[in-house]
């Protein structure tokens, strides 16, 4: 394979279950021969992530670490442990977001200060915090990929405070790309179309959202975790060596429709 990822190690943050976008990324990178390091928010997810990896990825030599991105000490400890255990990493996939459920309906104007700060803390600041912690491990250069959504660029019903947090995430991605380019570390975002994951469960009217994609998106169908995974593979590989500070829409073309 011309762009094999054999001999390379990638940190995947945000696998909750087999429907997670992070899991689509993990499988694409694994298929290209990469070694994977998984992080999860708390110990209670350790077994389910390990079981998923053991039962689904052939001949893996993955490693697992707990990392709650709201905690600076936890981030430091995680990346110190990764440095001690593997030394160098070649990329990181940040697939983490959270907002309180009550913020994801009605009018944005009603966002509480606490809800606003929680969404920004977990969904936007965390990229900057983990990029800073990962940088010393990327001594061969690297690629950082985050997951964003159209609601950060345009107003999307019910997305509310998450849209404002994604706008902050998108801008953080560009500033990080500017800071880290001199170390040959690239930073990009994938803007995914709606995918039914645990996070998407119970928020908004997902069937209505998917119906609109089927009727109006150029490709007339929703995207899959695999399609997002393959774009992450492109961004992690040398195929994308000239690309940084970019948002790639993997959304069946929906974002171009007015």
Query: What would you report as the CA-atom Rg of the chain, rounded to the nearest whole angstrom?
Result: 17
Do the Cβ atoms of 37 and 66 come closer than 8 Å? Answer: no
97 alpha carbon, distance to own chain's centre: 8
Tell me how far, at minimum, the Cβ of 258 lies from ligand NDP, in Å.
20
Task: Report the alpha-carbon distance of residue 140 to residue 155 in Å, rounded.
Answer: 39
Residue that is written with structure tokens 């442990």 in the block: 81
Q: Which of 151, 34, 49, 38 is nearest to 93 (CA)?
A: 38
**Of residues 16 and 250, the one with the C-beta less far from ligand N5H:** 16
Q: What is the contact surface with ligand N5H in residues (CB under 6 A)?
A: 16, 97-101, 104, 149, 151, 156, 158-159, 162, 194, 198-200, 203-204, 209
**Of residues 158 and 224, the one with the C-beta less far from ligand N5H:** 158
Q: What residues are annotated to the active site? A: 149, 159
HSE value, Cβ hemisphere, 13 Å, CA-based, for 47: 1
Picked from ligand N5H, ligand NDP, none, the partner binding residue 53 (CB below 5 to 8 A depending on kind) is none
Picked from ligand N5H, ligand NDP, none, the partner binding residue 20 (CB below 5 to 8 A depending on kind) is ligand NDP
Picked from ligand NDP, ligand N5H, none, the partner binding residue 243 (CB below 5 to 8 A depending on kind) is none
Tell me how far, at minimum, the Cβ of 6 lies from ligand NDP, in Å.
26
């Amino acid at each position: 394979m011309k762009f094999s990822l054999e001999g390379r190690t990638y940190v995947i943050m945000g696998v909750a279950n087999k429907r997670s976008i992070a899991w689509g990324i993990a499988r694409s990178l694994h298929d290209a021969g990469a070694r994977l390091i998984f992080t999860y928010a708390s110990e209670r997810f350790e077994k389910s992530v390990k079981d998923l990896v053991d039962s689904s990825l052939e001949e893996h030599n993955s490693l697992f670490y707990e990392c709650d991105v709201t905690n600076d000490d936890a981030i430091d400890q995680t990346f110190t442990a990764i440095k001690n255990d593997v030394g160098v990493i070649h990329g990181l996939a940040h697939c983490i977001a959270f907002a309180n459920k009550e913020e994801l309906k009605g009018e944005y104007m009603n966002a509480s200060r606490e809800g606003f700060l929680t969404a920004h803390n977990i969904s936007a600041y965390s990229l900057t915090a983990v990029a800073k912690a990962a940088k010393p491990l990327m001594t061969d250069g690297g690629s950082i990929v985050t997951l964003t959504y159209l609601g950060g660029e345009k107003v999307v019903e019910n997305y509310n405070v998450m849209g404002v947090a994604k706008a902050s995430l998108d801008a953080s991605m560009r500033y990080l790309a500017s800071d880290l380019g001199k170390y040959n570390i690239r930073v990009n975002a994938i803007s995914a179309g709606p995918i039914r994951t645990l996070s998407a469960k119970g928020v908004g009217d997902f069937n209505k959202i998917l119906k609109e994609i089927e009727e109006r998106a150029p490709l007339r169908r929703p995207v899959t975790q695999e399609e997002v995974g393959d774009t992450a593979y492109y961004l992690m590989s040398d195929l994308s060596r000239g690309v940084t500070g970019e948002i790639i829409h993997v959304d069946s073309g929906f974002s171009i429709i007015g």
